[in-house]
Amino acid sequence: MTRTADPILIEVLRNEMAAITEEMAIAVYKTARSSMLRVGDFATSLADYQGRIVGLGQSHSMATSVFMHLMPFVTAKFAGSFKEGDVIIANDPYAGASHMPDVILIMPVFHRGEVSGFVIIYSHQTDIGGRFPGGFSSQCTETYEEGIRLPNLKLYDGGVRNEALVQLLKANVRAADEWMGDIDAKLAGCHRGIREFKAVLEKYGVENVNACFDYLVEYGEQAARRAIAEVPPGDYAREVILRDDGFGSDGVEMPIRAALRFRPDKLIVDFTGTAPQAKGAINMPYSNTLGQVFSTIHKILAPDVVFNAGFVKPIEVIAPPGTLANPRFPAAVGGRAPLFFLITELIHLALAEAIPDRVSVPQEGGDIVHMSGYRPDGSEYTTMDLVWGGWGGRPARDGIDGAGMSYISVPAELVEREVPVVVEGFGLVPDTAGAGRHRGSLGIFKSYRFLHPAKIMVRTNRPFQSAVGMAGGAQGAPSCNLFTPLDGEQMELPRKSHMHLEVKAGDRLYHQVCGAAGHGDPMTRDPAAVLEDVREDKLSIQTARDQYGVVIDPVTMSVDTSATKELRRRAHAA
């Protein structure tokens, strides 16, 4: 460390800084226009005067990783030219950001005339212009189709709004007033962060604050090295297959390969052998590949350790340019979310070889129903209904139903208030969990009846199958989409990651997120746990017999112990 620091003062300052990011988040929650911000699809964070993310954020580690990748681009571009009141707006996946709907605001914090830190807020905007509403369709073939790319520009210069840029944005995005409302919400959060950050600098002094930041970054690095050292040294390599090229073509098989090379104080994650970048927009920007690696490693190896620029120092990520994991410009990247889940699964599978008692089957979900159009009063809208699945089975526990990442599914009341649609159903789907000694989570469904013509895009992250089970566990039931036109019969939609529909009043859509896979041999699951799932309508009596070898008397709703033992004996002998 370059400075000494009082450990008590460090703890005080760490909590002060965390409180700042929480206040920033509250400002966004209270002023946001879109439902996505109001259920948590945003993140707040702080950086020190060097632009290092110090891990004190109302944020998930995926977004924090993007901030880490982005800040060197920002500080390099504006080195020596920051002014008080500057607001940088960024969304360029080829200049440090994520896909283009993820719009990030950064403000420098000045203290006595010097840049002493930065406040940062990201959110997913409901549109970014371009060929398809939403800006994240897999059917774009180059980034020019995906909307407006903002290569780290000044939205405010010394406190003066760039009116030409604002006019350009409003002229090119759908539902412009609501879009700018979310930008203003992030601005409110940034200004709240600036005010509180300055108060902390004034109260404790810039030297003490910087010493705290130095300590936290060094602590994160040392903690990561210790966590890496606990994994048996060796190379752990796995492969998963992406089966959608972005257009739903038949017979697509694109491998994603990763080798995790654990050394005593370093981890190398090498994606060499991954398929070349695709024509469709299912490529993963390098910032997101870093994010999936860093956040998954952190979640499994050291979830209680501060996640910051220090934590990622011992982790080297190799992603050859021109591949799915690091595409070359101008590859389209908006529809990269299905690759998120495959890379997460890949890392889980590789780590399960090294530390099987600590690795669960990963989560499912993050599906989206994006809606755009005009309300009966003529006002334009774009909105996203986020539908999360749940977690797969764990080494010692079942998966968690309906809980994914840090978000929740958007409440039906909020969807219905924003757009002309009725949410006719929302809940768990019986018999969809992957079987295992510890079962996975059940699939989630949401069904809609549209009250007015609209354009709909359904993003299904797992259109073909769930993550694989671990230690003998089975996969969950696959996702599905059912469409029922007002004047026709129900039909199952093709299995693809992004589906575009034009609906009219009275049409219905049913979307089901896949169930998550199980962990361990289903024939060793406690019959009492199987019975409980049957009693809670999560499992049918027939499925209990078929998947778990548990025989349940439908009259007494109790386990037939002798019949169960015989059925399981025959299953193991087969």
Residue-level pLDDT at 403: 76
- Residue 222's pLDDT band (cuts 50, 70, 90): very high
- pLDDT exceeds cutoff 80 at 254: yes
Is 228 in contact with 355 (CB distance < 8 Å)?
Answer: no
Mean pLDDT, residues 171-175 taken together: 97
Mean pLDDT, residues 96-125 taken together: 96
- pLDDT exceeds cutoff 90 at 286: yes
Contacts of 132 (CB under 8 A, 6+ apart): 139, 140, 457, 500
Contacts of 255 (CB under 8 A, 6+ apart): 239, 240, 241, 242, 273, 274, 275
C-alpha span between 257 and 273 (Å, rounded): 6
C-alpha span between 419 and 231 (Å, rounded): 50
- Residue 407's pLDDT band (cuts 50, 70, 90): low
The Cα angle at residue 80 between residues 79 and 86, in degrees rounded to 5: 85
Parse the chain into domains and list their residue ranges.
7-221, 360-525, 527-573
Mean pLDDT, residues 320-340 taken together: 96
The 10s digit of each residue's pLDDT in 500-521 is 999 999 999 999 999 999 999 9
Report the SS3 class of residue 47.
Answer: strand
- pLDDT exceeds cutoff 60 at 444: yes
C-alpha span between 348 and 290 (Å, rounded): 15
Residue-level pLDDT at 2: 46
C-alpha span between 6 and 223 (Å, rounded): 19
The Cα angle at residue 372 between residues 368 and 374, in degrees rounded to 5: 150
Q: pTM to 2 decimals?
A: 0.94
- pLDDT exceeds cutoff 60 at 241: yes
- pLDDT exceeds cutoff 70 at 545: yes
**Average pLDDT over the chain, rounded to whole?**
94
- pLDDT exceeds cutoff 50 at 1: no
Helical residues (DSSP H) of 110-175, grouped into ranges: 163-172
The 10s digit of each residue's pLDDT in 336-394 is 999 989 999 999 999 999 999 999 999 887 899 999 999 999 999 999 998 888 899 99
